[in-house]
Amino acid sequence: MLRKFTTLYRHIIDEERKYPEATGELSDLLADIALACKIISLEVNRAGLIDLMGITGNENVHGEQVKKLDEYAHDTLVRAMEVSGHLCAIASEESENFIPVKEKFMGNRPMSKYIIHFDPLDGSSNIDANISIGTIFSIYKRVSDSGPGTLEDCLQCGTKQVAAGYVIYGSSTIMVYTTGRGVHGFTLDPTVGEFLLFYENIQIPKRSKTYSINEGNYSKWNQELKNYVDDLKSVDSSRRRPYSARYVGSLVADFHRNLLYGGIFMYPGDSKNPNGKLRLLYEANPLAFIIEQAGGRASDGKERILDVVPLDLHQKTPLFIGSEEDVLELERFLSN
Ligand code: AHG
Ligand code: MN
Ligand code: MN
């Protein structure tokens, strides 16, 4: 049976039509992001051939080695977003400060009413090993009146997101997005250069049998987290124990697998890094919006991720995200 031939753009327009007041700007912006990610996907797949492997020798604001593809993905997205005309500010994991964008006018109507956060390339330590990596993005409406965007525009609670998504560059290139009406997945058909609808209204299983965490950090965890992970590994078939361990070390790859099959992903704070490693704006918030739309849960162990008030562009947060019942159980263990 022929699968419904729905392109990403057709889906975005159909979604837009459900909002009578929509101006089409968000649809255009999502299409611009998809185009930028198609270009990144091309380079990711050719990286080894055109010397885009390896490191630049620079360090980013997080003190991490910047890979050539990190820089390439960041530059590609910034260029695409600056000309879209729909943004007043861009905040990137790879850029210390946010990038204010000059206002554009269409007729007498000012555009640039959105801001975007992105992790241009997630999982970049895995690039040279040909392991799946990805781009994560999050879109908000500006809060300032006009002109180039401000820091206040960039520091909004995750609940204010109007859209979020990711693109995973793996055995195929898949884009998953939400505008608050369900989570939808599209697979890039490279022969026609279109993202085609593959999963509509993705719902994550309420409980799973899979957990994802870097157990190399076990000695640095608090006792409550050790108790939880030890419990996951105990033998108790009535509670589906032992769970299976699945950890790629590339957040987008671990998240995408858990979204489709069920699972709990954990990047906790520990004795060395109390707030963990992942960034609230560029990783936790967009994925939290997506997981809640898919019927899952995302918290920092105590508070809902989307309620965390951002105080800094590069703020880190512990992240526990995935199947609702598993995250709730984890929270009970942490509160003991
Ligand atoms: P990024 O490549 O954007 O810096 O993100 C890397 C993150 C995330 O992708 C992954 O879940 C995590 O780093 C893995 O960290 P560890 O190697 O410490 O487990
Ligand atoms: Mn990342
Ligand atoms: Mn990154």
The answer to whether 286 and 140 have CB atoms below 8 angstroms apart is no
Which pLDDT score, from 0 to 100, does residue 107 have? 72
Ligand 2: distance of its center to the CA of 68 in Å?
A: 15
Is the bond into 242 cis (omega within 30 degrees of 0)?
yes
Which residues 6+ apart lie within 8 Å of 68 measured at CB? 47, 51, 52, 53, 54, 55, 56
Ligand 3: distance of its center to the CA of 106 in Å?
A: 33
Question: Could you list the mean pLDDT of each consecutive 10-residue stretch along the chain, which spans 336 residues?
Answer: 75 88 88 96 78 70 79 94 91 96 78 94 89 97 93 98 97 96 95 93 98 98 98 97 97 98 98 97 98 98 97 98 98 96
The domain limits of the chain are 8-199, 210-334
Closest residue by Cα to atom 3, ligand 1, is 122
Q: Establish whether residue 214 lines the binding site of ligand 1, counting it when its CB lies within 6 angstroms of any ligand atom.
A: yes
Ligand 1: distance of its center to the CA of 237 in Å?
A: 32
Task: For strands 210-212 and 173-178, give the pairing.
Answer: unpaired
CATH of 210-334, one of 1.10.1040.10, 3.40.190.80, 3.40.50.970, 1.10.10.10: 3.40.190.80
Q: Output b/e per residue, 52-83; b: 16+ Cβ within 10 A.
A: beebeeeebeeebebbbbbbbbbebbbebbee
- Measured from the Cα of 214, ligand 1's closest atom is 19
Ligand 2: distance of its center to the CA of 164 in Å?
A: 15
Q: Establish whether residue 131 lines the binding site of ligand 1, counting it when its CB lies within 6 angstroms of any ligand atom.
A: no
Measured CA to CA, the distance from residue 68 to residue 56 in angstroms comes to: 5
Which pLDDT score, from 0 to 100, does residue 1 have? 45
Which ligand is the nearest neighbour of the Cα of 249? 1
Q: Is 62 helix (H, G, I), strand (E, B) or coil?
A: coil
- CB-side neighbour CA atoms (13 Å) of 21: 0
Closest residue by Cα to atom 8, ligand 1, is 251
Which residues 6+ apart lie within 8 Å of 101 measured at CB? 81, 82, 87, 88, 89, 90, 112, 148, 149
Topology annotation, domain 8-199:
Fructose-1,6-Bisphosphatase; Chain A, domain 1 (3.30.540)
Which ligand is the nearest neighbour of the Cα of 74? 3
Which ligand is the nearest neighbour of the Cα of 277? 1
Q: Which of 276, 266, 274 is nearest to 298 (CA)?
A: 266
Question: 133, 251, 282: which to mutate for ligand 1, most atoms within 8 A of CB?
Answer: 251
Ligand 3: distance of its center to the CA of 119 in Å?
A: 5
Measured CA to CA, the distance from residue 249 to residue 255 in angstroms comes to: 10
